[in-house]
């Protein structure tokens, strides 16, 4: 008991000494500066010097690894030893990510503000704030009063918070890109009271009892912290990101003392807290540096040379974005990458397990690998529900929708994922409700252009229109396109869809006149390019309105075959609704598909991003058409590619995956893809496998596309997109356009290209096994060739032993007639008696031999009749010359 009390008194004394002596002002430091010093020199150098002095005098302490902490395991709390917590974290997928490359926490960044809608960008919000300020000026306020009023405005406060968060996120992304393959943990918004929570888990007291020198500095938040391992050295970088309070109505941003002092104060507290967490880490294994970041200001002329080494400004960030070496230099990290030692990994494991292990509440729900997909899915679902309430339309378009009760006809256009189908169904339902209110029976016919009965979109329509059906008043029929034409006895004009629709409505008019009920015709996924071309447009002006009692609601697919716009029907009869906000995919998928679609199709609608989910970058795998001897090299590569994708979605346990493929793929490839539909209970991935065309107009959390290229299939992904392109004999102009467009997306940083031949050390055991099998097959074939070469080399001494082997090979390739028995025929000019080299002859030589054989002399009397084969001869299967 006395020893424990003495240890506690000693620890308490050390903590008080640390708090009282940390970062005292040091006037002598400023006198040693080289050259002229700036007004911030003294404060900066004092902070840096005291940190260096602390590290110089620091000695690693011994802690009690068998002592206990409270840890959070699911919904309950448990008691673990410190060693158990470290061992548990070493088995997690998060540690594997940290060990293999940089891992960022939180692993998904979402806009948390409840004030702004997800479709409002920072630029839009900034413009709104300027307008608000100008309104106050127009009301007679002085600039000072107007600014004071804005500072109290709830919306403006939320805007400033959002701006500060966005600045931190941008700096985090730049740093994370600079350290691929280097073991590291990058934390944004490190809150000390969440790491060692006292109120819920009593862990501050528990850590202190174990020997950790944790100061009582209250709620401390560090903007960014990087913990990186090179060799056995742990590099720790604390970064405070500060905006200088620039206002949307005032573009001037000048540096002043308040944000600088605030940044230094937070750096000091963050340093002390981190040293407490790393109490037992040897000092010689730690390299720590503190930096400030001003992302909106150029600071080179503000700070002196000594200070600027510890400052990241706007100009630095612009250079660091595309140059990882500049990031390493600015952060003071060696450019030469040293392989991590086991001792270094053990130290890194200890630190990470304390910061984001089970005892920490820091970023719970945003730090485990499955959290990323779950949070994105929830946020996207929330956004879609909001946007589905017609938020995607402006006031004029909303007023148009109010006319749906007047039975006008609707044409909907817009980019993919902008809610055309949702609006189409909403308009249809509103028309039905209006008919019910007037006591009129209604028949709703719903189809999709060229949709077959097994199309996913028809199932979606069936599900969404269940509540419309009524035995007495409403009849709803969801039909395939051909079934609709057959039912109405209409013959399709493939080159003139407007004419076909006119024929359909004419038949429906007859039905209306006969039965008396009103009819609503809803057609989705109409192709703009299925109309005749007139004056460099697809001419839909011939689409005429039907008689009273018939209403039409049409939505058009956004990707025409040719780079031509649509000339729409007469606006006197049709309400034209153009949706522009894409909200049903992540931003990265939207940017990637817009880029590819623009290069392949050319004509793309003007679109805006209406989501705040950045998401994962789409990935592309291209499989070349090279084949091995059994012609299955591409199938083997596809197997590795699919295994790679399975590994990348392994943690997305609560999301759906659909595999879309071209319908013209070889049957062997289709059979291989169909195996991905095997249920998880039977050991398969449990994906849904569909022809890409059957999924038009639908959507899924994760889409894996396999084929030559299909932009509509790419846009079906909500959260993750994987593109696997196959190069085959049908690789024509359109397929090459897709390949070049995808390459361009890679160059622009909108798409990540991965290879089946990537370093297997970064892959799972399953992927490594697939690659090892492919390599083993190649090695076996090389060994077989080497064995044949050995036979050749050995037979040069006795060439007669080689001739039968060579002649056998040539005869097998049907380039030579083989005599099975007897010697009763004479070859022309003795050509067939000449030994054949093992290489294949050119086409001219082969043809020469065939012609000589066909013009051979007649057999002598008593032998075999002319033009009949001698006994034991195998006739040629074809008289056509063979190509070499």
Whole-number pLDDT of residue 240 = 93
Is the pLDDT at 872 greater than 80? The verdict is: no
pLDDT at 561: 60
**Arithmetic mean of pLDDT, 254-266:** 81
Please state, for a pLDDT cut of 90, what percent of the chain lies above it.
26
Q: Read off the pLDDT of residues 354-363 as tens digits, 9 standing for 90 and up.
A: 999 998 888 8
Read off the pLDDT of residues 457-511 as tens digits, 9 standing for 90 and up. 898 899 888 888 776 788 999 999 999 999 999 999 988 999 999 999 999 988 8
Q: Is pLDDT above 60 for 405? A: no
User: How far is it, in rounded angstroms, from Cα 822 to Cα 856?
Assistant: 18
pLDDT tens digit sequence for 803-848: 565 666 656 555 566 555 444 444 333 333 444 444 444 455 555 5
Instruction: Flag whether pLDDT at 394 surpasses 70.
Output: no
How far apart (Å, rounded) are the C-alpha atoms in residues 436 and 405? 11
DSSP, res 247: B
How far apart are alpha carbons 319 and 314 in whole angstroms? 9
Mapped to the 3 state alphabet, what secondary structure does 377-412 carry? HHHHHHHHHHHHHHHCCCHHHHHHHHHHHHCCEEEE
58-67, 278-287, 448-457, 773-782: range with lowest mean pLDDT: 773-782
CA 601/CA 435 separation, integer angstroms: 41
Average pLDDT over residues 591-603: 81
Distance (Å, rounded) from C-alpha 735 to C-alpha 728? Answer: 10
Q: Per-residue confidence at 613, pLDDT binned at 50, 70, 90?
A: confident
pTM exceeding 0.85? no
Nearest by Cα to 469 from 481, 480, 477: 477
Taking CA atoms, 226 is separated from 223, 307, 326, 567, in Å, by: 10, 20, 16, 56
pLDDT band at 1, cuts 50/70/90? very low
453, pLDDT greater than 80? yes
Mean pLDDT on 736-748: 89
Q: Is the CB of residue 654 less than 8 Å from the CB of residue 624? A: no
Rounded to whole angstroms, how far apart are CA atoms 434 and 394? 23
**Residue 332 confidence (pLDDT):** 92
**Residue located via tokens 């148009």:** 400
In the predicted structure, residue 127 carries a pLDDT above the cut 60: yes
Question: Which pLDDT band holds residue 452 (cuts at 50, 70, 90)?
Answer: confident
Query: How much is the pLDDT for 834?
Result: 42
Choice between 122 and 586, residue whose per-residue pLDDT is larger = 586
Residue 36: its pLDDT value, please? Answer: 57
Q: 764 versus 48: which is more confidently predicted?
A: 48
Q: So what's the pLDDT on residue 162?
A: 81
Predicted pLDDT at 659:
95
State the chain's mean pLDDT as an integer.
Answer: 78
- Does 653 score more than 70 pLDDT? yes
């Amino acid at each position: 008991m006395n020893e424990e009390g003495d240890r506690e008194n000693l620890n308490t004394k050390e903590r008080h000494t640390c708090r009282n002596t940390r970062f005292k002002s040091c006037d002598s430091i400023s006198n040693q500066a080289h050259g002229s010093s700036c007004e911030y020199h003294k404060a900066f150098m004092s902070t840096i010097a005291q940190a260096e002095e602390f590290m110089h005098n620091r000695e690693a302490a011994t802690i009690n690894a068998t002592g206990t902490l409270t840890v959070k395991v699911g919904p309950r709390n448990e008691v673990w030893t410190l060693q158990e917590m470290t061992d548990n974290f070493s088995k997690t997928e998060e540690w594997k990510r940290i060990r293999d490359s940089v891992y960022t926490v939180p692993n998904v960044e979402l806009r948390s503000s409840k004030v702004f809608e997800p479709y409002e960008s920072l630029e839009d919000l900034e413009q709104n704030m300027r307008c608000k300020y100008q309104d106050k000026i127009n009301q007679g306020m002085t600039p000072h009063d107007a600014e004071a009023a804005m500072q109290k405005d709830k919306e403006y406060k939320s805007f400033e918070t959002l701006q500060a968060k966005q600045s931190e996120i941008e700096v985090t992304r730049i740093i994370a890109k600079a350290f691929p393959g280097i073991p590291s943990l990058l934390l944004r918004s490190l809150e000390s009271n969440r790491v060692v929570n006292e109120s819920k888990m009593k862990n501050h007291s528990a850590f202190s009892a174990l020997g950790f020198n944790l100061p009582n500095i209250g709620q401390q938040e560090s903007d960014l912290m990087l913990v990186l391992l090179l060799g056995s050295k742990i590099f720790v970088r604390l970064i405070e990101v500060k905006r200088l309070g620039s206002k949307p109505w005032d573009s001037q941003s000048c540096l002043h003392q308040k944000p600088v002092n605030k940044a230094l104060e937070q750096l000091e507290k963050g340093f002390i807290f981190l040293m407490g967490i790393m109490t037992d880490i040897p000092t010689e294994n730690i390299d720590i540096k503190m930096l400030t970041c001003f992302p909106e200001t150029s600071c080179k002329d503000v700070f002196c040379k000594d200070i600027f080494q510890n400052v990241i400004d706007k100009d630095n960030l612009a250079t660091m974005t595309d140059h990882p070496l500049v990031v390493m230099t600015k952060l003071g990290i060696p450019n030469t990458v040293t392989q991590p030692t086991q001792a270094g990994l053990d130290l890194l494991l200890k630190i990470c397990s304390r910061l984001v292990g089970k005892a920490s509440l820091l970023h719970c729900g945003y730090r485990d690998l499955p959290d990323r997909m779950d949070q994105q899915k929830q946020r996207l679902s929330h956004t879609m529900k909001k946007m589905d309430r017609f938020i995607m339309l402006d006031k004029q378009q909303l007023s148009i929708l109010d006319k749906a009760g007047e039975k006008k006809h609707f044409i909907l256009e817009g980019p993919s994922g902008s809610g055309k189908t949702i609006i189409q169904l909403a308009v249809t339902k509103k028309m039905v409700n209006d008919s019910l209110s007037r006591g009129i029976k209604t028949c709703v016919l719903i189809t999709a252009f060229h949709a077959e009965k097994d199309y996913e979109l028809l199932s979606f329509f069936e599900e969404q229109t269940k509540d419309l059906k009524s035995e007495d008043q409403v009849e709803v029929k969801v039909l395939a396109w051909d079934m609709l034409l057959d039912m109405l006895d209409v013959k399709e004009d493939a080159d003139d869809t407007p004419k076909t629709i006119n024929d359909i409505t004419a038949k429906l008019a007859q039905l209306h006149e006969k039965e008396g009920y009103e009819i609503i015709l809803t057609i989705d996924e109409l192709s703009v390019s299925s109309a005749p071309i007139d004056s460099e447009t697809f001419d839909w002006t011939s689409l005429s309105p039907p008689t009273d009692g018939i209403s039409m609601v049409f939505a058009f697919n956004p990707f025409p075959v040719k780079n031509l716009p649509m000339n729409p029907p007469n606006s006197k009869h049709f309400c034209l609704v153009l949706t522009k906000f894409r909200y049903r995919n992540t931003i990265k998928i939207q940017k990637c598909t817009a880029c590819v679609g623009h290069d392949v199709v050319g004509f793309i609608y003007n679109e805006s991003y209406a989501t705040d989910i950045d998401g994962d970058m789409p990935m592309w795998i291209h499989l070349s058409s090279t084949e091995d001897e059994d012609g299955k090299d591409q199938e083997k590569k596809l197997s590795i590619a699919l295994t790679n994708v399975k590994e990348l979605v392994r943690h997305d346990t609560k999301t759906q995956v659909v595999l879309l493929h071209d319908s013209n793929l070889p049957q062997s490839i289709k059979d291989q893809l169909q195996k991905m539909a095997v249920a998880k209970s039977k050991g398969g991935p449990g994906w849904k496998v569909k022809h890409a065309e059957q999924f038009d107009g639908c959507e899924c959390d994760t889409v894996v596309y396999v084929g030559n290229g299909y932009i509509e299939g790419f846009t079906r992904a909500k959260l993750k997109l994987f593109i696997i392109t196959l190069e085959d004999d049908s690789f024509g102009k359109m397929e090459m356009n897709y390949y070049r467009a995808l390459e361009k997306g890679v160059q622009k940083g909108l798409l990540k290209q991965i290879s089946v031949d990537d370093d297997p050390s970064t892959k799972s055991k399953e992927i490594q096994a697939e690659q090892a099998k492919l390599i083993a097959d190649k090695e076996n074939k090389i060994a077989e060739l080497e064995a044949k070469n050995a036979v050749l080399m050995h037979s040069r001494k006795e060439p007669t032993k080689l001739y039968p082997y060579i002649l056998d090979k040539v005869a097998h390739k049907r380039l030579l007639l083989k005599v099975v028995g007897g010697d009763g025929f004479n070859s022309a000019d003795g050509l067939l008696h000449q030994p054949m080299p093992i290489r294949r002859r050119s086409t001219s030589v082969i043809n020469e031999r065939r012609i000589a054989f066909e013009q051979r002399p007649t057999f002598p009397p008593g032998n075999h009749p002319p033009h009949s084969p001698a006994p034991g001869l195998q006739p040629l299967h074809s008289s056509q010359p063979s190509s070499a």
